[in-house]
Amino acid sequence: MILSNASYARNGHYPMLRVEVDGQVAELGSEIKPTLYEAGIVFLGPEFAGRVPPIDFHPEGGGPTRLEGFTREPRMFRLYDQFLRACNTEDGFVEGPVKIPD
Protein backbone atom coordinates (compact mmCIF):
# COMPACT_ATOMS: atom_id res chain seq x y z
CA MET A 1 0.00 0.00 0.00
CA ILE A 2 1.47 3.34 -1.07
CA LEU A 3 0.54 6.32 1.13
CA SER A 4 1.20 9.89 0.00
CA ASN A 5 0.05 13.50 0.28
CA ALA A 6 -1.41 13.29 3.79
CA SER A 7 -3.01 16.38 5.26
CA TYR A 8 -5.45 17.52 7.90
CA ALA A 9 -8.46 19.42 6.62
CA ARG A 10 -11.98 20.34 7.63
CA ASN A 11 -15.32 19.39 6.17
CA GLY A 12 -17.39 22.22 7.59
CA HIS A 13 -16.55 22.11 11.29
CA TYR A 14 -15.47 18.48 11.24
CA PRO A 15 -11.78 17.52 11.14
CA MET A 16 -10.70 15.03 8.53
CA LEU A 17 -7.60 13.25 7.36
CA ARG A 18 -6.97 13.22 3.62
CA VAL A 19 -4.41 10.80 2.26
CA GLU A 20 -3.73 9.25 -1.11
CA VAL A 21 -3.83 5.46 -0.91
CA ASP A 22 -2.40 3.84 -4.01
CA GLY A 23 -3.17 7.05 -5.92
CA GLN A 24 -6.79 7.43 -4.76
CA VAL A 25 -7.80 10.01 -2.14
CA ALA A 26 -9.28 8.70 1.09
CA GLU A 27 -11.06 11.16 3.39
CA LEU A 28 -11.35 9.87 6.93
CA GLY A 29 -13.35 11.43 9.75
CA SER A 30 -12.72 11.19 13.46
CA GLU A 31 -15.59 8.80 14.26
CA ILE A 32 -14.32 5.38 15.30
CA LYS A 33 -15.71 1.97 16.05
CA PRO A 34 -13.78 0.98 19.21
CA THR A 35 -13.69 -2.73 18.36
CA LEU A 36 -12.13 -2.08 14.96
CA TYR A 37 -9.76 0.57 16.30
CA GLU A 38 -8.50 -1.78 19.02
CA ALA A 39 -7.84 -4.37 16.29
CA GLY A 40 -5.77 -1.84 14.29
CA ILE A 41 -8.33 -1.60 11.48
CA VAL A 42 -9.05 1.64 9.58
CA PHE A 43 -12.01 2.29 7.28
CA LEU A 44 -10.77 3.90 4.07
CA GLY A 45 -14.21 4.25 2.49
CA PRO A 46 -16.64 2.28 0.36
CA GLU A 47 -14.81 3.29 -2.81
CA PHE A 48 -11.86 1.15 -1.61
CA ALA A 49 -13.90 -2.07 -1.63
CA GLY A 50 -12.28 -4.22 -4.28
CA ARG A 51 -9.18 -1.98 -4.34
CA VAL A 52 -7.74 -3.26 -1.05
CA PRO A 53 -7.96 -6.87 0.09
CA PRO A 54 -10.97 -7.61 2.32
CA ILE A 55 -10.37 -8.38 5.99
CA ASP A 56 -11.91 -11.39 7.70
CA PHE A 57 -12.61 -10.02 11.16
CA HIS A 58 -13.62 -12.15 14.14
CA PRO A 59 -14.90 -9.85 16.88
CA GLU A 60 -15.02 -11.16 20.41
CA GLY A 61 -18.49 -12.49 21.13
CA GLY A 62 -19.58 -12.22 17.49
CA GLY A 63 -19.48 -14.17 14.30
CA PRO A 64 -16.91 -13.66 11.56
CA THR A 65 -17.38 -10.62 9.35
CA ARG A 66 -15.80 -9.76 6.01
CA LEU A 67 -14.83 -6.08 5.90
CA GLU A 68 -14.57 -4.36 2.51
CA GLY A 69 -12.86 -0.98 2.16
CA PHE A 70 -10.88 -1.42 5.40
CA THR A 71 -7.16 -1.92 6.01
CA ARG A 72 -4.82 -3.21 8.69
CA GLU A 73 -1.76 -1.61 7.08
CA PRO A 74 0.39 -0.52 10.08
CA ARG A 75 1.53 2.83 8.62
CA MET A 76 -2.06 3.76 7.77
CA PHE A 77 -3.16 2.87 11.29
CA ARG A 78 -0.35 4.97 12.82
CA LEU A 79 -1.28 7.92 10.59
CA TYR A 80 -4.94 7.60 11.58
CA ASP A 81 -4.04 7.24 15.26
CA GLN A 82 -1.89 10.39 15.01
CA PHE A 83 -4.89 12.19 13.45
CA LEU A 84 -7.26 11.06 16.23
CA ARG A 85 -4.80 12.23 18.88
CA ALA A 86 -4.50 15.61 17.15
CA CYS A 87 -8.30 15.93 17.14
CA ASN A 88 -8.41 15.34 20.88
CA THR A 89 -5.80 17.87 21.98
CA GLU A 90 -6.30 21.59 22.29
CA ASP A 91 -3.61 22.66 19.83
CA GLY A 92 -3.01 19.36 18.03
CA PHE A 93 -5.24 19.77 14.99
CA VAL A 94 -3.76 22.20 12.50
CA GLU A 95 -4.90 22.11 8.89
CA GLY A 96 -2.18 21.37 6.38
CA PRO A 97 0.28 18.64 5.35
CA VAL A 98 1.33 15.98 7.86
CA LYS A 99 4.18 13.49 7.84
CA ILE A 100 3.31 9.89 7.06
CA PRO A 101 4.83 7.61 9.73
CA ASP A 102 7.68 5.29 8.76
- Domain boundary assignment for the chain: 3-90
Asked if the model's pLDDT at residue 19 lies above 80, the reply is: yes
Q: Report which residue type is found at 76.
A: M
Q: What is the pLDDT of residue 38?
A: 93
pLDDT at 91 over 80: no
CA 100 to chain CA centroid, Å, is 12
pLDDT tens for 43-82 read: 999 999 999 999 999 888 778 899 999 999 999 999 999 9
Distance CA 23, CA 40 (A): 22
pLDDT at 13 over 90: no
Q: Who has greater pLDDT, 17 or 59?
A: 17
CA distance 65 to 35: 13
